[in-house]
Every structure is written in C-alpha cells, then in structure tokens.
Amino acid sequence: MRVKFKPGAKAYLDNLHFHTHVDDFQLDRLKNIKSPLVLEIGLGKGDYLLAMAKAYPDYFFMGIELNASVLSVAAQKLANANLENILILTGDAKYLLPKLKKESLSYIILNHSDPWPKKRHEKRRLTHPSLIKKYYDLLKPGGELIFKTDNDDFAEYSYATLKEAPFSSLLFNRDYKGDAPFDAKTEYEVRFLLKDVKIKMITGKK
C-alpha cells in the first residue's frame, strides 16, 4: 500500500464531519451513540470499514489511521457512501485508547497490522502485551477482538500474547477462508489472497 504524501490530505480530512484528529477527540462525540461500537485500528484505505458500515447500519464504526494521506483515500470512499454510522480519526491508536470508556466496545479489529518483525521494534506491534491488556479492558463482556494477518510469525507472536490475556475463548485459524459472520475483506487481504498466501485469523472473546 504505497500512498504518496498528499499535501491536501489534512485539509480535506479536517473538513469532513465524520473525521477528527485523535488529539481533538473527546468522548462526548460518542455520547448519543447507542449502537454497538466497533473500533478498527489501522484502517488503511478503508475497504473493511466501508463494507462493514454498509452491511451493519445498526453498528457504529470508528477507525483510526496514523497516516493522513492513506486515511484521505479511505475518507473519499466513505464520503461517497454517505454513511451516518462512522467516525474516522487521524493519529496513533495509543493516544485514543486511554480516551475511551472501559467496557464500551463490542469489537476491536486489527486487520493486517504492520508486523514489525525486528525484535527491537516489538513495542510497535499492535498486539504487544501492553496493548492487549488495554483492548481487553475496553471490550464489553462478550465483546470480541478480531485479528487477521498474512504474516505467519506475527500470527504466532500475537496468539502467544493473546493467550496471556484472560479471554474466555480464543480461536486461531491458520487458513481463514473469509467465512466469519462479522467480517469483510481488506485491501491487504485481497492482495495476499491473490498471491495464495494463507490468511491467519485469531479471535478472542471477553
């Protein structure tokens, strides 16, 4: 997913009613939202969020993405779809998590997160134990963490870190066929499926 730096991306995003920067995000923004909440971290070009928000109009989807140029690509697709059940944020998820209410999320979604294979970068992995604990606290009882990846080592690492958290059920599918009830394909997933790479899926229920 190479997206060149887009000079107008920030200004474009700032004019959208369904976008905010993580620094400006306040919990009030979600005050009147009664729907089950879903958070996708690292939404990239937004294919998952778009498909899911269309398929599940009774859920509210939040997506956060570090890279404003990438997010502006997602934002254009989402704007064209005229959805009312979305909020996208520019920024690092680590600054959003402490702003959310404990036990407020029905799903946390990690789709093809960057694997950061070098040991010295382990802390940057979105399944680092310090983050898994935060995800667990933010999920409602019965809520679910859904993780998909194309990378074998990252899948095994993530399964190991998730096993340390007290999820009531943890499932690891090393050859996920895209048939889970609450799911949609992402840009990365499609790209890796075309190369015959197996998709790995881990789900953990609180």
Ligand X SMILES: C[S@@+](CC[C@H](N)C(=O)[O-])C[C@H]1O[C@@H](n2cnc3c(N)ncnc32)[C@H](O)[C@@H]1O
First to last CA, the chain: 32
Nearest of 202, 166, 169, 168 to residue 183 by alpha carbon: 202
Q: Which is nearer to ligand X, 124 or 166 (CB)?
A: 124
Give the nearest distance from C-beta 131 to ligand X in angstroms. 9
Q: What would you report as the CA-atom Rg of the chain, rounded to the nearest whole angstrom? A: 16
By CB under 6 A, is residue 150 in contact with ligand X? Answer: no
Does 114 qualify as catalytic in the annotation?
yes
x/- map, 43-82, ligand X, by CB under 6 A: xx-------------------xxxx--x------------
- Beta carbons within 8 Å of 44's beta carbon, 6+ residues apart: 1, 65, 70, 74, 111, 112, 186, 187, 188
Candidates 73-81, 109-117, 158-166, 167-175: pick the segment binding ligand X (CB under 6 A): 109-117
Structure tokens at 102: 């404990």
Q: Which is nearer to ligand X, 34 or 179 (CB)?
A: 179
Q: Which of 52, 59, 74, 187 is the binder for ligand X (CB under 6 A)?
A: 187
x/- map, 19-48, ligand X, by CB under 6 A: ----------------------xxxx----
Q: Which of 21, 35, 92, 180 is the binder for ligand X (CB under 6 A)?
A: 92
Residues that bind ligand X (CB under 6 A): 1, 41-44, 64-67, 70, 92-94, 111-114, 186-189
The residues that are catalytic are 114
